[in-house]
Chain A
Amino acid sequence: MMETIEYSPEAAVSVHLTVNGVPVTAEVSPNAILLDVLREQLGLTGTKKGCDHGQCGACTVHVDGRAMNACLRLAVMCEGQAITTIEGLAEAGQLHPVQQAFLDHDAFQCGYCSPGQIMSAVALLEDPRVPGDIVTVREAMSGNLCRCGAYQNILAAIQDVRLRRHGQEGGDDA
């Protein structure tokens, strides 16, 4: 799907990534930001730029399974790492359960922050260190701003996924 992309004259470094499961070699300048490489070089525009300063969370992606702001990370720091973006979440055309829950709970309005909200939500749901009570979830999600203010529905979506998962596993919710 993706191959080596010759990009700019000052590109000087080859960085080897696995992006949404696909090995990618990108020629990047040493100061290229992961977010810009994803959007401008790899054409993965689902990851949004809201502030470019790590303040809004719209660019949240998974780097080796951890949620990170792609705007605060140099691409060269990701050598050998696996990057998952919003485009890599749905499998075989089937929405990820968190995406489906966002749709069911109307957990968005304009949708611009949604990729970041969803990537953070997926990571925290899979992080055993984060308890499932709403105070903790709200705190854990506070790096993802939603100016439309759909926070109540975002929380409901996350807790709905948690409940279904625990239901399947036969465990009880915190």
Chain B
Amino acid sequence: MSAIPEHHVVGRRTPRVDGEDKLTGRADYTVDHRLEGMLYGYPVPASIAHGTLEALELDAARAMPGVVDILHHGHFPDLHRSPNSMRQGNAVSEVRLPFEDDRIHYHGQYIALVVAETLAQARAAAFRVEARYHRNAGAMTGLAASDDEGEEVGQYTRGEPELAFGIAPVILDATYTMAAESHLQLEPHATLAEWREADQRLIVHESTQGVFYQRNALAHIFDLPPEQVEVISHYIGSGFGNKLFMWPHAVATAAAARLLGRPVKTVLPRQQDMMTTGHRPASRQRIRLGAELDGSLASIQHDSLTETSTIDRYVDACGGATPVAYACDSVATHQRILPVHHGSPCPMRAPGEASGLFALESAIDELAVALDMDPLALRLKNYAHQDPQRGLPWSSKHLDRCLESTAERFGWASRDPGIGNMRDGDEIIGQGMAAATWFAGRQPCAARVTLRADGVFVACGTQDIGTGTYTIVAQTVAELTGVPVARVEVRLGETGLPAGPLSGGSMTTASTLPAVAAAVRDALAALKEVATGPGGSFEGLDPAALDVAAGTLQGDSRQAGFAEILARHRLSDVTGEGSAAPADERQEYSFRSFGAHFVEVRWDPGISRLRVARVVSSIDVGRAINPVAARNQVEGAIVMGIGMALLEGLDYDPRDARLINANVSDYRIPVHADMPEIDVELLDYPDYRFNEFGARGIGEIGLTGIAAAISNAVYHATGKRLRDLPISVEKLMDRT
């Protein structure tokens, strides 16, 4: 390992470089784009969840002003499916093509796309489309309504978990359930597609977390060479996973644009967005723990069942973190999926493990109660000093420091463990805690850097979904060139740029920055070549002897600015290319991020009011490249965790699987008034075994463990162990 570098821009608070555009309304989100001659698409959703579309009555809609065409099963081009492969980079969220047949698999499935001259006309006409259905009996309304155990899709075993459970002196066997959650990203899904007949090019503006995946999928679907498909996404009104992979609205919109020879824009209305573009699936998880009297874990068994749709096989792997969470010789996880008549689920922030750690970290708390042990002490007792799944050392793990620091700042030592013993006026105080963890991964990435007289231009085909990627890329360039952040222009979110990774899995930072750094070094090498060549400012010097500082090359007690060197040789710029990919680091180490959440809830039984009053967290993600944005990620994840624990659940009608609360007030998310005091500490232990900047990524980890910490605090306040999320207030009210 090389010497630890000293950074001046990386790791320092940096205002977002895209901030002014976002805060003045100039930022061009997909929904804001407009092209000459553009038409508007408006989908018509199925009003049943399980059955057949028998007939569409379109005459009234067709006669509405401005209607240009209506696409549907009987009037749609013959397209191909995407291979739907992660390895090939063409995964899609729903593999079925729009209007593929007359079968209805979920409420909201598109039965038509109305295309008209204006948004108002398209919308008005869409409401005039009439459909006749044959409803099938026996819609699968959700796993809660079924005894079906589904199909096993994955398992892991080490040691003898059943045997160890059978002989353990203290055991816990509990089942935890969670409602499906909506991502509810504020910018709805949107596509603006343009077909250029002359050169057979499909150009698509999409609010997406993965421009290259969508390009590759569209190329397969429209049977075009990938070079003839372009996908652009400069600003994304967030995604949280449901904009990772393409949904059918994009296919329908692109097909309409090609068919009609005019650009078509479709922005999903909120209700349709919630019905058709994914959710975190509902889950049922059984946890069995066996422990010695001193708290040593002898056995962990984690059996998960999650919903999928009848048309896709989405696996929300709840047990992903269970084999590595604690030092325990006997561990088993089983994962099963159950098809139901909902739209296809998809990854949602910390997919699988956010649900899994709710169950596991609740169970650990229950075990602590059974053992009469402090839950913090129980976690330290079973601390995994190395990766117990792979037997490798951690690259960098400071969970112990997270737990100690958080406990100290929270004041855990003064907690009275008795149920309901802590009071403040009418309120009963509950205090709970849980650990957090999320894997650290990297994806291949390429970047291009151009040194110009007026600054540096850097390009990479990844995206900034609000996490701050534009800014950390600019910081990296500024760090390595000495050019101020303000003079670094960052271009992301285009398939015309060097291929970049998905914005997902908390992998973007660790994937992108090493590629950007490599491109900067390549560009600097090109500049040094020029400067040391004939007629150069450093003619005859060894390029390796030149230093870079403050936008200049320095050597032999002289210095020359980038612009001066370029001007001297009549060059507009020099360009460098760089790429990075996971290497063999995983053969020697295991990489994960860690954290701890301590939560105080207040329960006022007189008025049945439950609120989260205080959250204290410490997060160990290596080096935070931009601490201000990194902290924001964790705070935002905590807010989402409050929603998961107390508020959020998609409600499907138990009679027919129709989604009841597909709107922003019946599906409740935290608002300003729900905010607790939040104290987030980012530990600073750079993980240089992972990459040269020591960063592991921070988007998801804050959402892991938080729901368990809240649930554990509710138990401490009320004595009620509520194993079903969300913990809505009626579940706490005393029934008399």
Chain A residues packing against B (C-beta within 8 Å): 7-10, 29, 32, 36, 39-40, 43-53, 55-56, 58, 85-87, 89-90, 95, 99, 102-104, 106, 108-115, 118, 137-139, 141-155
Q: With CB as the reference atom, state the residue of chain B lying closest to A54.
A: B665
Taking CB atoms and an 8 Å cut-off, the chain B residues in 98-121 that contact chain A are 117-121
Can you name 14 extra interface pairs (CB under 8 A) apart from A45-B28, A111-B21, A145-B664?
Answer: A8-B118, A29-B120, A36-B120, A46-B24, A49-B31, A50-B270, A52-B269, A55-B270, A86-B24, A109-B629, A110-B185, A113-B186, A137-B672, A148-B238
Q: Which residues of A contact B663 (CB under 8 A)?
A: 51, 53, 55
**In contact, A45 and B32 (Cβ under 8 angstroms):** yes
Taking CB atoms and an 8 Å cut-off, the chain B residues in 396-420 that contact chain A are none
| A135 CB, nearest partner CB in chain B, Å | 8
CA distance A50 to B669 in the complex (A): 14
**In contact, B66 and A9 (Cβ under 8 angstroms):** yes
14 A-B contacts (beta carbon < 8 Å): A8-B117, A50-B186, A86-B25, A103-B15, A110-B466, A111-B237, A114-B22, A115-B23, A143-B671, A145-B669, A149-B638, A149-B640, A151-B672, A155-B672
Q: Which residues of A contact B467 (CB under 8 A)?
A: 109
CA distance A144 to B629 in the complex (A): 21
The 6 closest A-B pairs by CB, nearest first: A46-B25, A110-B466, A111-B22, A149-B639, A112-B237, A149-B636
Q: Does B69 sit within 8 A of A, measured CB to CB? A: no
Q: A8-B118, A118-B23 are in contact. Are A110 and B187 (CB under 8 A)?
A: yes
Q: Does B65 sit within 8 A of A, measured CB to CB? A: yes
CA distance A51 to B640 in the complex (A): 19
Cβ proximity bits B631-670 to A, threshold 8 Å, 1 near / 0 not: 1110111111000000000000000000000011100011
Q: Does B465 sit within 8 A of A, measured CB to CB? A: yes
Taking CB atoms and an 8 Å cut-off, the chain B residues in 165-195 that contact chain A are 183-188
Q: Which residues of B contact A108 (CB under 8 A)?
A: 19, 22-23, 466
Name the contact of B636 in the complex, choosing from A51, A56, A148 (C-beta under 8 A): A148
**In contact, A45 and B25 (Cβ under 8 angstroms):** yes
| B682 CB, nearest partner CB in chain A, Å | 14
CA distance A150 to B235 in the complex (A): 17
CA distance A41 to B183 in the complex (A): 30
Chain B residues packing against A (C-beta within 8 Å): 15-16, 18-29, 31-32, 34, 65-66, 117-121, 183-188, 235-238, 240, 267, 269-270, 465-468, 628-629, 631-633, 635-640, 663-665, 669-673, 675, 678
**In contact, B186 and A58 (Cβ under 8 angstroms):** yes
Residue picked from B15, B21, B28, B237, most chain A C-beta under 10 Å:
B237
**In contact, B238 and A110 (Cβ under 8 angstroms):** yes
Q: Which residues of A contact B631 (CB under 8 A)?
A: 106
Give the interface SS of chain A, mostly helix, strand, loop or mixed: loop
**In contact, B238 and A147 (Cβ under 8 angstroms):** yes
| A100 CB, nearest partner CB in chain B, Å | 8
Q: Which residues of B contact A90 (CB under 8 A)?
A: 24
Residue picked from B16, B28, B120, B467, most chain A C-beta under 10 Å:
B120
**In contact, B632 and A150 (Cβ under 8 angstroms):** yes
**Number of residue pairs A-B, CB distance < 8 angstroms:** 187
CA distance A121 to B19 in the complex (A): 17
**In contact, A10 and B65 (Cβ under 8 angstroms):** yes
**In contact, A50 and B24 (Cβ under 8 angstroms):** no
**In contact, B235 and A51 (Cβ under 8 angstroms):** no
Q: A53-B664, A55-B665, A152-B675 are in contact. Are A99 and B635 (CB under 8 A)?
A: no
Q: With CB as the reference atom, state the residue of chain A lying closest to B466.
A: A110
CA distance A4 to B20 in the complex (A): 30
CA distance A145 to B640 in the complex (A): 12
| A132 CB, nearest partner CB in chain B, Å | 14
Q: Which residues of A contact B18 (CB under 8 A)?
A: 111
Q: Which residues of B contact A145 (CB under 8 A)?
A: 186, 664, 669, 671
CA distance A114 to B25 in the complex (A): 9
**In contact, A138 and B672 (Cβ under 8 angstroms):** yes
**In contact, A109 and B25 (Cβ under 8 angstroms):** no
Q: With CB as the reference atom, state the residue of chain A lying closest to B667.
A: A55
Q: Which residues of A contact B22 (CB under 8 A)?
A: 108, 110-111, 114
**In contact, B664 and A51 (Cβ under 8 angstroms):** yes
**In contact, A150 and B186 (Cβ under 8 angstroms):** no
**In contact, B119 and A36 (Cβ under 8 angstroms):** yes
CA distance A85 to B24 in the complex (A): 10
Q: Which residues of B contact A99 (CB under 8 A)?
A: 20, 23-24
Q: Which residues of B contact A110 (CB under 8 A)?
A: 22, 185-187, 235-238, 465-466
Q: Which residues of A contact B672 (CB under 8 A)?
A: 137-139, 141-142, 144, 151, 154-155
| B299 CB, nearest partner CB in chain A, Å | 37
CA distance A152 to B118 in the complex (A): 39
Q: Which residues of B contact A147 (CB under 8 A)?
A: 183-186, 238, 240, 640, 669
Q: Which residues of A contact B15 (CB under 8 A)?
A: 103-104, 106
**In contact, A56 and B664 (Cβ under 8 angstroms):** yes
CA distance A52 to B237 in the complex (A): 16
| B433 CB, nearest partner CB in chain A, Å | 20
Q: A46-B26, A138-B673, A152-B675 are in contact. Are A112 and B632 (CB under 8 A)?
A: no
Q: With CB as the reference atom, state the residue of chain A lying closest to B631.
A: A106
Q: Which residues of A contact B465 (CB under 8 A)?
A: 110
| A12 CB, nearest partner CB in chain B, Å | 12
Q: With CB as the reference atom, state the residue of chain B lying closest to A153.
A: B632
CA distance A18 to B65 in the complex (A): 29
CA distance A55 to B467 in the complex (A): 24
CA distance A126 to B466 in the complex (A): 29
Name the contact of A149 in the complex, choosing from B269, B635, B664 (C-beta under 8 A): B635
Q: Which residues of B contact A153 (CB under 8 A)?
A: 632, 635
| A61 CB, nearest partner CB in chain B, Å | 11
Q: Which residues of A contact B466 (CB under 8 A)?
A: 108-112, 148
Name the contact of A112 in the complex, choosing from B29, B117, B637 (C-beta under 8 A): B29
CA distance A138 to B670 in the complex (A): 12
CA distance A147 to B117 in the complex (A): 32
Name the contact of B675 in the complex, choosing from A40, A47, A151 (C-beta under 8 A): A151
**In contact, A102 and B23 (Cβ under 8 angstroms):** yes
CA distance A42 to B176 in the complex (A): 51
CA distance A133 to B670 in the complex (A): 20
Name the contact of B120 in the complex, choosing from A8, A53, A152 (C-beta under 8 A): A8
Q: With CB as the reference atom, state the residue of chain B lying closest to A100.
A: B23
Q: Which residues of B contact A111 (CB under 8 A)?
A: 18-19, 21-23, 27, 235, 237, 466
